[in-house]
Amino acid sequence: GMLGASLPLVAAAAGKPMQEISDPKTFTALTYFPPAGACSPCALLLYLHGAGESGRNVRDLISEGATGTPPVELENGRALPILTKHFIVVAPQTDHGWDASEVSQFLDYVLSSKSGLPAIDPKRCYITGHSMGGAGALYAATTGRFAAVAPVAPAGSVKPSELHGTPVWAFHGKNDVVVPSTYSERLIRGLQRAGANDSNAKLTLYERAPAPVGWPDYDGHGSIIPAYATHELYAWLLDKSLSV
């Protein structure tokens, strides 16, 4: 009932499975937060899933095909220490794609006391996602509310000017047969041409990214596996903050 929804999620400890939160106006999500006292306030990493995890059962985010993504690695106790110690991770589920204004509305909920999450630093909210969710992360970054965005094999893009200087680190397999790496390459080139420095327009291209686990025909589209295992990604995120 309503009472349960407003109680803080004190039961979640490090290494325990992801907890659920639900905003009646936008999304239900899986969440992780570090052990008490590890960070206060904590940084936020919002993870937007790809089309394969679309639906209305949030536990579907923990799927074999999503191996490597933050929710799956956190659920299975395999996430990098820098992620488990420094970030509250929130992974919403959509059944109708990602819309920037809806993600922004969900961020309001996450940052509010209604979510029951520990304190989050509103200047250090970051967004990432895979494929459809990589594009969704870029759309959401146009709101200017995220201190950095890390799209992985984004299945869509935005104009560099729409990002208003938001730092971007894109990851993509050159051998991706689902979403060509040109999406990421053009975006980062465009940002560099528009004056972004190397720290604010980064691109990691994998010569031979794997297929997602269980999806052998999707060769190169499993760049989530190496990307989210990159310690430097999380250090780079933590280095970025909004000035307001």
| Model confidence pLDDT, tens digit, residues 151-162 | 999 999 999 999
| Strand pairing category for 120-130 and 168-173 | unpaired
Average pLDDT over the chain, rounded to an integer? 93
- DSSP state, 55? S
Q: How far apart are CA 167 and CA 123, in angstroms?
A: 13
pTM for the model: 0.93
Question: Is the pLDDT score of 22 beyond 70?
Answer: yes
Q: How far apart are CA 70 and CA 227, in angstroms?
A: 10
Predicted pLDDT of residue 16: 52
Question: Is the pLDDT score of 173 beyond 50?
Answer: yes
Backbone angles phi, psi at 175, to 5 degrees: -95, 20
Contact 188, 203 (CB under 8 A): yes
Predicted pLDDT of residue 40: 84
- Judged by DSSP in three states, 108 sits in helix
Q: How far apart are CA 162 and CA 172, in angstroms?
A: 21
| Model confidence pLDDT, tens digit, residues 36-88 | 888 889 999 999 999 999 999 999 999 999 999 999 999 999 999 999 999 99
| Strand pairing category for 19-22 and 28-32 | antiparallel
Average pLDDT over residues 196-208: 97
Q: How many helices (H) and strands (E) does the chain have?
A: 8, 8
